[in-house]
């Protein structure tokens, strides 16, 4: 078993170009090209691309160079892979999509994307080819290319390069392509591996590279496998590939296996056996790049040394050397020959022959490549360097052959099998063409070469080719190099029945058909006669073009140089041409048969032959032209009496004269015609060139337009959606909005405007002023015009319904897409609630300010100390009173700690403040006696309350009342209460004593009651007096007046003394004493009915012991008193003792017969 | 008669009529009675050789009699305070030096208070 993984030394699929794919990127690179219709294809492609396939995609599109492309945006929606517009120098990364930017040529070099300016003018640019070519060189096996929708043929050349370098090639199925030009051109190269709809491609590509990644496909013993494969190809296609390089073969087969996805060689051989298509595809793959410069160098060397010098020997300036290379493909071989001939010519003296190399092929695309004479660097590798320098000039990315060489070679489309061969050529070089033909065909082709060649002309075949058994026609010059020479001089006629058929087709259906068929045998005989015995003839139309031809016309007709034609006047041998023209002209002119007798022609191998040329009109247009050899048929025309015209009826002299005249006339006509023709030909040529280039420009413009159109269509869809979004927004918005144009006409409006305007749908286009509204039009329009003028937004507030609704009208400039102002937008905002809220806010603020001011005033004026502390026991706020206690000013405290402000207060207050913070509970009526600010101790009642915000105590307020005075008053009150209680109780005790003492006097019950009443009454009246003076003192005079008032005989009393106030105790004591004195006086003394006089006087003296009161009670003129009989009673004891006892005073009691004389004295 | 026979009692009372009444009651009970009308007098009487009991008015001309009570107490002389105040309710310092009788008192209440003070263990045995 041989593992067929490519080895490092021979990596490329093309052994002659090992440099391919020298810089593979880290992932396979897929080039995707498209033009018109490409957007859709790209979208389908990317939508189907797996995001993790490990591939990088490079998208190349024909873009309008003057427009930003929207492609990235449009494609980015179809795939989750990042889509990047390429910048110069970008590196390729897996699972990314790269897009060519407008107006740049893209290439890949060392896995890096390069942007350059286009070197070609617009219209000649082929960005897809450019990129694919660089992709092939840079990535080789690591590349894949995809040709999608588009017109023209961009991409196919690049695809060829990718394929040659061993990359995968895909083209879009033309059924699915919007424009099938590009895919068709690609498919036409025959090099496309798979034709698929875009959506199927990405998976196919991934599978392809996965199979490659999976490592080498193990093939059985390479030789056996190859033999089997080649046998299969030969069996099916008749081609032998055994001469191919084995490694290349194996790799190409392996690549095919990768493409079709067969795992084992046996599986693939089975496929080859069963599928003609696969054989065909493999065949094509094997054929790739088989033509090149100087293929088989030894053979060319032989040509150079031997054949070409001989070919040119003896040829002078008048000679033309003709070489024919059928199956020239892209022209490398023809140019190789041309170069060798040019080399040889350069060694020749002047007067060199002209050389014409007729290179023909049926593949027009190949011919175009060949005509360009331009080849990539890799293609000219086989050209020896000195020849490369001499005959090529290098351009940016290719080598172009010199004009001198190109002039030598004329490429034309010619089918070796079907078209008439060239003649009189000196050499036929037909290499590697015969191998494609089966033996039968080869045997037919070899005589064609024999026919075309001059005697002893050379035949040059491919190394695998031979004479196909016709050694009778050629001598072998060099067998190994396959060079032969034509043998003999006899020119074999070749039957070319196919020569006319395609030409006849051009003329449309034969009008003669269908014709009546007589008896079959006779018909056969007629045909036999015509084929074998009748003279050679052709049927021509009015333009002298051959419509039909008989056999054996080869003696009289030959293919002229230049483009093949069917004009019989040109096809006829030179000697016959004037005869043909004249008989046809004569026949047409006269409508009768015309004959030109005995024209001499040279026929090789027979010498000079005389020919009669007869033209016989068949119809209005067609005529029969007959060639009759005179030597063989003896003057039959003599008896041909019905011939009407003899072109040659005169004597030789006459004929010569006529001919000369005709010749002169013809010459001058010809000259004019030629001149005219040349002129018009030049004109036509230049017009044609212009047309061509215009056409190409138009084509590419068309493609660009198609691309732009697609992008625009997609954009229009998006705009449609955006428009619909906008419409929905306008319909649904609750904000009244009006769009106006510059003339204040309504463009559109939102439904919410009906709150303010009586809009209806048909109002669009009307002037705003024409629609009835609750809002003043004048204001709106003025504002609108101001905005139009300034371009700045403006606002105005207005009230409706006498202030019940408030709106703000906001007018903004309406700007079109380029930013010009094209009207205004009016937006109405209902601010009724906002205004109400604002008013409320102002009210509340005023209220709050009042409250704050009240609180401040309270703080300032309240007769209590107030302060607010934070958690760190620092002052936040403090009033004058509190500050005063600390001895500091109200301004200096905030921020200071309580302990700094007043250590004394802090000592008592810090604990409760902390407690309030901790327990979130107020502490009230906290009593403290504190010595503040150096003064005496004072009593305080302190409240601590928490100041909360959101359940958290942020400060503690303190209210501190100075209750020192209050406490003092309370004590005073207590004392007063005690005093009062004492006095009341003592008074009751006194009354109690009066009662008991009075009862001791043992008097009558009536007297007892009277005495008690009067004594208690005296006590009560003094109480009354004292009460009137707040128990501070009583007037002595009033006490006397009160005491004496109840008694009769007031006129007997004289009272004299200064006004004096006595203390309560004195008042009570004096009252009791004076009452007893008065009672006694009324019973027994001066106030008794018996009569007398009473004199009461007092004075106050002051000495060192204080004030002293002395009162004397003197009765006189009383009769009937017996001092000795006076009984000691409670009354007299009281008079004598009370003053002494209670007032530490004295009583001088002296009872005389004329009356009592009593002196009371006491300090007070 | 003569529950208080041989007993000497000092009365401190600044009101003549009240002192007269108390004196009458106590004399009737057989006691020898000395009356002081002010504090200095009462202090003097406290120095007497024989004093068995002091009946002291608490408020004498606006002054408390407790300092005088202290003098009697030092000599272990039983004291009966007479007062218009509820002495028990007003924690006067010194008020616990003796028994207490509220003014105005009846002869019976005075007798009980005095006898109880003189004979704390057998008070009322005789009555």
pLDDT digits over A86-117, tens only? Answer: 988 888 888 999 999 888 889 998 888 988 88
Instruction: Sort out which chain B residues have CB atoms less than 8 A from A1001's CB and list them.
Output: none
Q: Give me the torsion for CA of A1153, A1154, A1155, A1161, rounded to 10°.
A: -100
Report the C-alpha gap between A388 and A394 in whole angstroms. 9
* A22-26, A424-428, A1049-1053: segment of lowest average pLDDT: A22-26
Report the C-alpha gap between A483 and A463 in whole angstroms. 10
**Of A712, A734, A715, A733, nearest in space to A723 by CA:** A715
CA distances to A56, A57, A94, A980 from A82, in Å: 11, 11, 10, 108
- Is B89's Cβ below 8 Å from some Cβ in A? no
- Choose from A1065, A1141, A1160, A1164 for mutation: most chain B CBs within 10 A: A1141
- Under an 8 A CB cutoff, do A982 and B61 touch? no
Chain A residues 1123-1162 within an 8 A CB cutoff of chain B: 1134, 1137-1138, 1141-1142, 1144
Q: Is the pLDDT of residue A436 over 70?
A: no
Q: How confident is the model at residue A35 (pLDDT cuts 50, 70, 90)?
A: confident
pLDDT in the model for residue A862: 82
* Per-residue pLDDT reduced to its tens digit, A59-90: 998 887 777 777 888 888 888 888 888 988 88
CA distances to A36, A210, A287 from A249, in Å: 38, 22, 10
* Per-residue pLDDT reduced to its tens digit, A840-895: 999 999 999 999 898 888 888 888 888 999 988 899 888 888 888 888 888 888 88
Q: Is the pLDDT of residue B46 over 50?
A: yes
pLDDT in the model for residue A148: 92
Instruction: Sort out which chain B residues have CB atoms less than 8 A from A979's CB and list them.
Output: 59, 62
Residue of B nearest to A996 (CA): B21
- Under an 8 A CB cutoff, do A1141 and B19 touch? yes
Nearest beta carbon to residue A1141 from set B16, B24, B105 = B16
- Under an 8 A CB cutoff, do A986 and B83 touch? no
Q: Which residue has the tokens 């006194």?
A: A990
For A975, half-sphere exposure in the C-beta direction (CA atoms, 13 angstrom radius) is: 9
Report the C-alpha gap between A537 and A550 in whole angstroms. 5
CA A144 to the chain's CA centroid: 29
Residue of B nearest to A974 (CA): B90
pLDDT in the model for residue A978: 81
pLDDT in the model for residue A191: 80
- Choose from A989, A1137, A1145, A1160 for mutation: most chain B CBs within 10 A: A989
Residue of A nearest to B24 (CA): A997
Mean pLDDT value across residues A777-799: 87
Q: Is the pLDDT of residue A508 over 80?
A: no
pLDDT in the model for residue A1098: 94
Q: Is the pLDDT of residue A670 over 60?
A: yes
Instruction: Sort out which chain B residues have CB atoms less than 8 A from A1146's CB and list them.
Output: none
Chain B residues 47-76 within an 8 A CB cutoff of chain A: 59, 61-62
Instruction: Sort out which chain B residues have CB atoms less than 8 A from A1141's CB and list them.
Output: 16, 19, 35, 37
Angle at A194 between CA A699 and CA A216, to 5 degrees: 135
CA distances to A862, A937, A959, A964, A976 from A969, in Å: 21, 16, 22, 9, 10
pLDDT in the model for residue A219: 53
Cβ A423 vs Cβ A452: under 8 Å: yes
Say which residue, A592 or A921, is predicted with more confidence. A921
Cβ A808 vs Cβ A831: under 8 Å: yes
CA distances to A29, A91, A144, A198 from A26, in Å: 9, 10, 14, 25
Give, rounded to a whole angstrom, the gap between the first and last alpha carbons of chain B: 11
Mean pLDDT value across residues A432-451: 77
pLDDT in the model for residue A591: 78
Q: Is the pLDDT of residue A124 over 70?
A: no
Say which residue, A372 or A69, is predicted with more confidence. A372
Q: How confident is the model at residue A1113 (pLDDT cuts 50, 70, 90)?
A: very high
Say which residue, A1006 or A638, is predicted with more confidence. A1006
Distance from CA of A1019 to the nearest CA of B (A): 12
Q: What tokens were used for A412?
A: 């034309």
pLDDT in the model for residue A189: 73
Q: How confident is the model at residue A1032 (pLDDT cuts 50, 70, 90)?
A: confident
Cβ A429 vs Cβ A323: under 8 Å: yes
- Under an 8 A CB cutoff, do B16 and A979 touch? no
Nearest beta carbon to residue B16 from set A978, A983, A1138 = A1138
The average confidence (pLDDT) of chain A is 81
Q: Give percent above pLDDT 90 in chain A.
A: 12
Report the C-alpha gap between B82 and B110 in whole angstroms. 9
Report the C-alpha gap between A933 and A395 in whole angstroms. 109
- A873 φ/ψ angles, rounded to the nearest 5 degrees: 60, 40
pLDDT in the model for residue A824: 92
* Per-residue pLDDT reduced to its tens digit, A893-939: 888 888 888 888 888 888 899 988 888 888 888 888 888 777 788 88
pLDDT in the model for residue A1132: 86
pLDDT in the model for residue A535: 82
Instruction: Sort out which chain B residues have CB atoms less than 8 A from A996's CB and list them.
Output: 21, 24
Chain A residues 980-1039 within an 8 A CB cutoff of chain B: 981-986, 988-994, 996-997, 1000
Q: How confident is the model at residue A492 (pLDDT cuts 50, 70, 90)?
A: low
Q: How confident is the model at residue A15 (pLDDT cuts 50, 70, 90)?
A: very low
Instruction: Sort out which chain A residues have CB atoms less than 8 A from B83's CB and list them.
Output: 982, 985
Q: Is the pLDDT of residue A333 over 80?
A: yes
Residue of B nearest to A985 (CA): B84
* Per-residue pLDDT reduced to its tens digit, A742-767: 888 888 888 888 888 887 877 888 88
* Per-residue pLDDT reduced to its tens digit, A179-225: 888 888 888 777 888 899 999 999 988 888 888 765 555 555 667 77
pLDDT in the model for residue A518: 46
- Under an 8 A CB cutoff, do B18 and A989 touch? yes
Model-level pTM? Answer: 0.38
Instruction: Sort out which chain A residues have CB atoms less than 8 A from B90's CB and list them.
Output: 978
Distance from CA of B36 to the nearest CA of A (A): 9
- Is A493's Cβ below 8 Å from some Cβ in B? no
Q: How confident is the model at residue A10 (pLDDT cuts 50, 70, 90)?
A: very low
pLDDT in the model for residue A290: 52
- Is B29's Cβ below 8 Å from some Cβ in A? no
Q: Is the pLDDT of residue A361 over 90?
A: no
**Of A450, A549, A534, nearest in space to A499 by CA:** A549
For residue A1026, whether the previous peptide bond is cis, meaning omega lies within 30 degrees of 0, is: no
Report the C-alpha gap between A1012 and A1015 in whole angstroms. 5
Distance from CA of B121 to the nearest CA of A (A): 30
Q: Is the pLDDT of residue A1096 over 90?
A: yes
pLDDT in the model for residue A284: 67
DSSP class of residue A661 equals H
- Under an 8 A CB cutoff, do A988 and B61 touch? no
Which of A2-6, A266-270, A745-749 is most confident? A745-749
Mean pLDDT value across residues A496-501: 37
Instruction: Sort out which chain A residues have CB atoms less than 8 A from B105's CB and list them.
Output: 989
Mean pLDDT value across residues A700-724: 86
Residue of A nearest to B90 (CA): A978
Alpha helix (H) residue ranges in A485-553: 501-506, 520-528
DSSP class of residue A142 equals G
Mean pLDDT value across residues B22-46: 91
For residue A514, whether the previous peptide bond is cis, meaning omega lies within 30 degrees of 0, is: yes
Strand order in the sheet with A1053-1056: A1053-1056, A1093-1103, A1106-1116, A1155-1163, A1146-1152
What is the secondary structure of A998-1049 as a DSSP string? HHHT---HHHHHHHHHHHHHHHHHHHHHHHHTTTT-EEHHHHHHHHHTTSS-
Report the C-alpha gap between A808 and A796 in whole angstroms. 6
Q: What tokens were used for A3?
A: 């593992």
The average confidence (pLDDT) of chain B is 85
Buried b (16+ CB within 10 A) or exposed e, A161-194: bbbbbbbbbbbbbbebbbbbbbbbbbbebbbbbb
- A1112 φ/ψ angles, rounded to the nearest 5 degrees: -115, 140
Q: Is the pLDDT of residue A375 over 60?
A: yes
Nearest beta carbon to residue A1142 from set B21, B37, B103 = B37
- Under an 8 A CB cutoff, do B24 and A996 touch? yes
Mean pLDDT value across residues A715-732: 88
- Is A119's Cβ below 8 Å from some Cβ in B? no
Q: Is the pLDDT of residue A834 over 60?
A: yes
Mean pLDDT value across residues A1137-1161: 89
């Amino acid at each position: 078993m041989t593992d067929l993984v490519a080895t490092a030394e021979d990596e490329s699929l093309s052994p002659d170009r090992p440099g391919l794919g020298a810089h593979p990127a880290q992932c396979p690179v897929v080039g995707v090209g498209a033009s018109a219709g490409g957007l859709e294809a790209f979208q389908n492609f990317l939508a189907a691309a797996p995001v993790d396939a490990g591939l990088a995609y490079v998208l190349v599109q024909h873009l309008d160079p003057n427009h930003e492309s929207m492609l990235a945006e449009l494609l980015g929606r179809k795939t989750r892979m990042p889509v990047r517009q390429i910048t110069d120098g970008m590196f390729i990364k897996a699972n990314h999509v790269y897009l060519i930017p407008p107006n740049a040529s893209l290439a890949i070099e060392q896995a890096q994307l390069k942007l350059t300016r286009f070197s070609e003018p617009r219209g000649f640019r082929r960005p897809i080819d450019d990129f694919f070519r660089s992709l092939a060189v840079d990535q080789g096996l690591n590349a894949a290319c995809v040709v999608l929708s588009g017109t023209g043929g961009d991409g196919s050349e690049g695809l060829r390069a990718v394929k040659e370098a061993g990359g995968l090639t895909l083209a879009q199925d033309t059924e699915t392509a919007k424009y099938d030009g590009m895919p068709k051109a690609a498919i036409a190269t025959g090099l496309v591996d798979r034709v698929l709809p875009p959506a199927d491609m990405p998976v196919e590509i991934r599978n392809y590279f996965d199979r490659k990644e999976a490592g080498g496909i193990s093939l059985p013993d390479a030789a056996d496998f190859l033999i089997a494969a080649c046998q299969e190809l030969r069996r099916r296609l008749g081609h032998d590939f055994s001469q191919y390089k084995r490694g290349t073969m194996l790799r190409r087969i392996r690549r095919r296996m990768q493409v079709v996805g067969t795992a084992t060689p046996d599986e693939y051989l089975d496929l080859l056996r069963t599928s003609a298509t696969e054989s065909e595809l493999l065949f094509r793959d094997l054929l790739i790049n088989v033509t090149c410069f100087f293929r088989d160098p030894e053979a060319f060397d032989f040509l150079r040394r031997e054949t070409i010098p001989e070919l040119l020997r003896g040829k002078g300036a008048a000679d033309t050397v003709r070489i024919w290379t059928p199956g020239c493909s892209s022209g490398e071989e023809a140019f190789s020959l041309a170069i060798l001939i040019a080399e040889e010519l350069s060694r020749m003296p002047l007067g060199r022959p002209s050389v014409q190399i007729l290179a023909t092929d049926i593949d027009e695309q190949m011919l175009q490549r060949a005509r360009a004479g331009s080849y990539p660097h890799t293609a000219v590798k086989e050209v020896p360097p000195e020849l490369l320098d001499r005959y090529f000039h290098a351009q940016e990315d290719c080598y172009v052959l010199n004009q001198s060489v190109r002039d030598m070679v004329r490429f034309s489309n010619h089918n070796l099998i079907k078209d008439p061969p060239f003649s009189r050529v000196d050499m036929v070089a037909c290499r590697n063409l015969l191998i494609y033909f089966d033996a039968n065909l080869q045997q037919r082709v070899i005589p064609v070469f024999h026919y075309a060649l001059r005697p002893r002309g050379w035949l040059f075949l491919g190394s695998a080719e031979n004479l196909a058994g016709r050694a009778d026609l050629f001598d072998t010059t060099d067998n190994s190099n396959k060079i032969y020479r034509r043998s003999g001089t006899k020119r074999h006629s070749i039957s070319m029945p196919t020569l006319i058929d395609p030409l006849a087709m051009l003329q449309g259906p034969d009008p003669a058909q269908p014709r009546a068929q007589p008896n079959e045998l006779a018909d056969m005989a007629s045909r036999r006669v015509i084929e074998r015995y009748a003279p050679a003839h052709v049927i021509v139309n009015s333009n002298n073009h051959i419509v039909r031809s008989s056999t054996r016309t080869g003696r009289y007709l030959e293919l002229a140089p230049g483009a093949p034609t069917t004009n019989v006047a040109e096809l006829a041998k030179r000697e016959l041409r004037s005869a043909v023209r004249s008989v046809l002209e004569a026949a047409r002119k006269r409508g009768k048969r015309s004959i030109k007798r005995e024209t001499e022609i040279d026929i090789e191998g027979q010498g000079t032959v005389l020919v009669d040329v007869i033209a016989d009109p068949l119809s209005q247009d067609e005529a029969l032209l007959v060639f009759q050899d005179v030597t063989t048929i003896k003057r039959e025309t003599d008896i041909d009496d019905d011939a009407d015209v003899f072109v040659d009826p005169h004597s030789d002299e006459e004929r010569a004269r006529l001919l000369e005249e005709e010749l002169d006339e013809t010459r001058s006509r010809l000259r004019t015609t030629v001149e005219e023709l040349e002129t018009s030909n030049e004109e036509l040529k230049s017009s044609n060139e212009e047309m061509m280039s215009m056409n190409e420009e138009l084509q590419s413009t068309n493609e660009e337009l198609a691309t732009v159109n697609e992008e625009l269509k997609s954009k229009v869809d998006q705009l449609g959606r955006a428009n619909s979004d906008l419409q929905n927004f306008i319909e649904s918005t609750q904000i009244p909005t009006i769009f106006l144009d510059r003339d204040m006409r309504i463009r559109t409006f939102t439904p919410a405007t009906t709150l303010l305007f009586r809009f209806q749908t048909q109002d669009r286009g009307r002037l705003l002023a024409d629609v009835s509204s609750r809002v003043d039009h004048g204001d709106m329009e003025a504002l609108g015009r101001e905005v139009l003028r300034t371009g700045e937004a403006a606002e105005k507030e207005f009230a409706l319904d006498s202030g019940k609704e408030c709106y703000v009208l906001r007018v903004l400039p309406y700007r079109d897409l380029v930013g010009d102002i094209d009207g205004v937008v009016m937006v109405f905002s209902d601010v009724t609630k906002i205004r109400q809220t604002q008013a409320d806010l102002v009210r509340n603020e005023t209220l709050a300010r009042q409250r704050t001011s009240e609180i401040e005033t309270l703080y300032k004026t309240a007769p209590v100390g107030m302060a607010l502390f934070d958690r760190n026991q620092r002052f936040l706020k403090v009033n004058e009173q509190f500050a005063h206690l600390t001895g500091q000013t109200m301004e200096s405290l905030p921020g200071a700690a309580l302990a700094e402000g007043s250590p004394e207060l802090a000592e008592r207050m810090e604990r409760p403040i902390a407690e309030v913070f901790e327990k979130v509970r107020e502490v009230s009526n906290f009593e403290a006696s504190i010595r503040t600010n150096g003064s005496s101790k004072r009593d305080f009642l302190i409240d601590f309350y928490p100041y909360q915000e959101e359940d958290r105590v942020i400060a503690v307020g303190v209210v501190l009342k100075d209750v020192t005075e209050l406490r003092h008053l309370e004590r005073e009150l207590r004392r007063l209460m005690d005093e009062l209680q004492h006095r009341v109780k003592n008074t009751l005790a006194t009354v109690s004593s009066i009662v008991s003492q009075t009862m001791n006097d043992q008097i009558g019950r009536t007297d007892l009651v009277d005495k008690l009443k009067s004594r208690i009454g005296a006590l009560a009246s003094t109480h009354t007096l004292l009460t009137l003076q707040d128990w501070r003192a009583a007037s002595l005079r009033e006490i006397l007046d009160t005491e004496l008032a109840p008694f009769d005989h007031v006129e007997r009393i004289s009272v004299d003394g200064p006004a004096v106030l006595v203390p309560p105790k004195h008042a009570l004591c004096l009252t009791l004493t004076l009452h007893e004195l008065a009672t006694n006086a009324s019973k027994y003394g001066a106030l008794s009915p018996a009569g007398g006089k009473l004199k009461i006087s007092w004075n106050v003296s002051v000495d060192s012991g204080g004030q002293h009161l002395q009162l004397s009670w003197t009765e006189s003129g009383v009769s009937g008193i017996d001092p000795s009989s006076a009984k000691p009673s409670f009354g007299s004891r009281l008079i004598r003792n009370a003053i002494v006892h209670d007032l530490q005073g004295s009583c001088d009691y002296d009872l005389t017969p004329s009356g009592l004389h009593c002196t009371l004295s006491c300090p007070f | 008669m003569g529950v208080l026979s041989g007993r000497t009692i000092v009365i401190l009372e600044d009101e003549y009529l009240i002192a007269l009444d108390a004196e009458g009651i106590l004399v009737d009970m057989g006691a020898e009675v000395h009356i002081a009308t002010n504090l200095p007098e009462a202090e003097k009487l406290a120095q007497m050789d024989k004093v068995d009991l002091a009946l002291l008015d608490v408020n004498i001309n606006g002054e408390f009699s407790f300092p005088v009570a202290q003098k009697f107490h030092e000599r272990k002389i039983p004291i009966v305070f007479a007062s218009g105040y509820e002495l028990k309710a007003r924690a006067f310092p010194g008020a616990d030096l003796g028994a207490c009788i509220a003014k105005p008192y009846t002869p019976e209440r005075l007798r009980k208070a005095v006898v109880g003070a003189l004979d704390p263990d057998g008070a009322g045995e005789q009555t």
